[in-house]
A and B are shown apart, each in its own frame.
Chain A
Amino acid sequence: MNEIFNLSLLEVKEALKKHDLSALEVTNAFIEASEKIKKLNVYNTFTPEKAIEMAKLSQSRIDKGQGKLLDGIPVAVKDLFCTEGVLTTASSKILNNFIPNYESTVTNNLWEAGAVMLGKVSCDEFAMGSSNETSYFGNVINPWSKGKGKKLTPGGSSGGSAAVVASNAALAATGTDTGGSIRQPVAFCGVTGIKPTYGRCSRWGIIAFASSLDQAGPITKTVSDSALMLSVMSGYDQKDSTSANEETPDFLASCMENSLNNVKVGIPKEYQINGMSSEIIKLWEKGAKWLQDRGAQIIDVSLPHTNYALPTYYVIAPAEASSNLARYDGVRYGFRKSKDNLDELYSSTRAEGFGSEVQRRILIGTYVLSAGYYDAYYRKAQKVRNLIINDFSEVFNKVDVLLTPTTPTAAFELGSQQDPISMYMNDVFTVPASLAGLPAMSVPSGMSQEALPLGLQVIGKPFDEENVFKIAANLEDEAKFSFLNYN
């Protein structure tokens, strides 16, 4: 049974097709593995009965020779995706009893393709956080903490999704990324994740944080697994007014190309930030060398407004969040603090239902949108966002992709970052691509001196995930990263 955990999603798919494994065997193995990692606090809601039921249906389709793309593949879902009839909390007290009457488009696409749902995994509350510590249900523990004598953050916000894949308790997980919420946790947990181009995946049924930035994406071990997952998750959806009416290319085919002749890789000099550890710089140089050895041309480029990306993000994201989270008022769903007066009902429900980071961001958002400050903050940030997008457009006239580190450090100890701004610095390399809506992928590429995983990020042009997958697959090939042997 143990060898299942050494297989990639694509290899399990092949074994299912050949009847070397049954869907029920695979699902049971991952249910058992999920039960063994309880102390990591990964799951908000574990749904083994549902998984078994879905696995049986998958097997009957496989037996009839009608197997679909993901039949029998156990997947964990970030608790930000609405799942019909299954508790969906956004890791918040204010939604701690919310059972959606509908299924998000992205998860629906997965179930339509035969994937098996293991349950809903933890995240930062409303996806606001970089350490998974803002969850109402307590933080997730990074499986790489094992043997380190301290408890490390899995990163966030998709911390549960990254940890569940890294600890061999799911073959894949869904994540969402607003400013780095897929890429930073996968870097910290030594797995792979992509935030696709804004508009590639439907946002319908995903609990909204910042609507102009939010995107869903897959978390897997390998780049090819990610390509298959994303091809199923993507696609035009009438129910999301910002969904892009674009064909979904064959992402898997892009992962098979191992010549990088004629590929131009940009190295943005502004990503060399003060205080970045030498091991990250070395890994970055090594990554560039690997790509060069495979024929790519390495070109130094400049994105002059990079420094302003984080403060721009911390105007725009809270502004959108303050508007999106206005709906949680204790009237139609979720937690209510009963009061005799309606205004008091709202304000005490929201005071008790939202955690401190969510409250902080709602207040920042309300402030920057309030009369007298709108132009100085919100409108200003929207203008700087335009300049950041222009930086990327200019650079993409010269290069096909950009290569950067994913995070400025490896996973840090839980509870060690108390100051909001130093926590926000975690996303310094991921936020610019988010503001520009670009596809960006993190690949586990090396280890820190403390034997913790480090990731490299590949950023591509809008709707050019193909080049991102191609470069990422080549990095993966060279890095030969050893996944955590957790079971």
Chain B
Amino acid sequence: MPIDKDTVSKVSNLARIEIDDKQLEKLSKELDSVIEWINTLNEVETEGVEPIANVTGQTLPLREDKVNDGGYAEKILNNAPEQASGFFVVPKVVE
């Protein structure tokens, strides 16, 4: 069993999703069965095959490095859960 409760706990910390103990049990079973199913990929011989991230084979176009948008911080901040003096507000990070 590649995915146990400890693994789920580690991964959920990496993903910043709080998981309570009750869910850990259920999730580790579910994720384990998904990963086991994904492991069928090991049947495929991929020696010398290039990994592919982009189906179109197109390279990323470049544009001139200049500002083409912006200047409406107030509008953007209107969607923030908490704002003050033109900034996003988060709990104190530096003591």
Q: Is the beta-carbon distance between A364 and B61 smaller than 8 angstroms?
A: no
Interface residue SS majority, chain B: loop
Q: Among A98, A322, A329, A380, which residue has its beta carbon within 8 angstroms of that of B41?
A: A380
User: A367-B11, A367-B35, A421-B34 are known contacts; what are 14 more A-B pairs with Cβ within 8 Å?
Assistant: A101-B72, A212-B54, A244-B58, A305-B44, A307-B40, A330-B81, A331-B81, A331-B88, A333-B81, A351-B18, A360-B31, A363-B27, A383-B44, A435-B55
Q: Among B15, B46, B78, B91, which residue has its beta carbon within 8 angstroms of that of A383?
A: B46
Q: Is the beta-carbon distance between B12 and A386 smaller than 8 angstroms?
A: no
Q: How far is the CA of A486 from the CA of B43 in the complex (A)?
A: 48
B14 to chain A: which residues have CB within 8 Å? 366, 370
Q: A322-B15, A347-B18, A380-B46 are in contact. Are A315 and B41 (CB under 8 A)?
A: yes
Cβ proximity bits A372-390 to B, threshold 8 Å, 1 near / 0 not? 0000010111111111010
CB closest residue in chain B, given A375 = B51
Q: Among B16, B54, B55, B61, which residue has its beta carbon within 8 angstroms of that of A346?
A: B16
Q: How far is the CA of A183 from the CA of B41 in the complex (A)?
A: 25
| Residues in chain A within 8 A of chain B (CB atoms) | 97-99, 101, 198-199, 212, 238, 241-242, 244, 305, 307-308, 311-312, 314-315, 322, 329-336, 339-348, 350-351, 354, 359-360, 362-364, 366-368, 370, 377, 379-387, 389, 420-421, 435-437, 462
Q: Among B19, B34, B43, which residue has its beta carbon within 8 angstroms of that of A351?
A: B19
B16 to chain A: which residues have CB within 8 Å? 329, 343, 346-347, 350
B85: CB under 8 A from chain A? no
Q: Is the beta-carbon distance between B35 and A364 smaller than 8 angstroms?
A: yes
A97 to chain B: which residues have CB within 8 Å? 79
A4 to chain B, nearest CB (A): 38
Q: Among B3, B44, B79, which residue has its beta carbon within 8 angstroms of that of A334?
A: B79
Q: How far is the CA of A26 from the CA of B52 in the complex (A)?
A: 47
* B55, B56, B93 interface centre (most CB from chain A within 10 Å): B55
Q: Is the beta-carbon distance between B31 and A367 smaller than 8 angstroms?
A: yes
Range for the number of chain B residues in contact with chain A: 35 or more
Q: Among B18, B51, B56, which residue has its beta carbon within 8 angstroms of that of A437?
A: B56
A436 to chain B: which residues have CB within 8 Å? 55
Q: Is the beta-carbon distance between A363 and B38 smaller than 8 angstroms?
A: no
A204 to chain B, nearest CB (A): 11
Q: Is the beta-carbon distance between B80 and A331 smaller than 8 angstroms?
A: yes
Q: Among B34, B58, B72, which residue has its beta carbon within 8 angstroms of that of A242?
A: B58
Q: How far is the CA of A293 from the CA of B53 in the complex (A)?
A: 40
Q: How far is the CA of A351 from the CA of B40 in the complex (A)?
A: 30
A332 to chain B: which residues have CB within 8 Å? 76, 79-80, 88
B30: CB under 8 A from chain A? yes
Q: How far is the CA of A98 from the CA of B50 in the complex (A)?
A: 40
A335 to chain B: which residues have CB within 8 Å? 81
Q: Among A339, A370, A379, which residue has its beta carbon within 8 angstroms of that of B11?
A: A370
Q: Is the beta-carbon distance between A351 and B88 smaller than 8 angstroms?
A: no
Q: A99-B79, A336-B81, A367-B3 are in contact. Are A382 and B34 (CB under 8 A)?
A: no
B66: CB under 8 A from chain A? no
Cβ proximity bits B64-84 to A, threshold 8 Å, 1 near / 0 not? 000000001001101111100
Q: How far is the CA of A181 from the CA of B81 in the complex (A)?
A: 31
B1 to chain A: which residues have CB within 8 Å? none
Q: Is the beta-carbon distance between B93 and A386 smaller than 8 angstroms?
A: no
B60 to chain A: which residues have CB within 8 Å? 241
Q: Is the beta-carbon distance between B82 and A384 smaller than 8 angstroms?
A: no
Q: A244-B56, A341-B91 are in contact. Are A362 and B17 (CB under 8 A)?
A: yes
CB closest residue in chain B, given A101 = B75
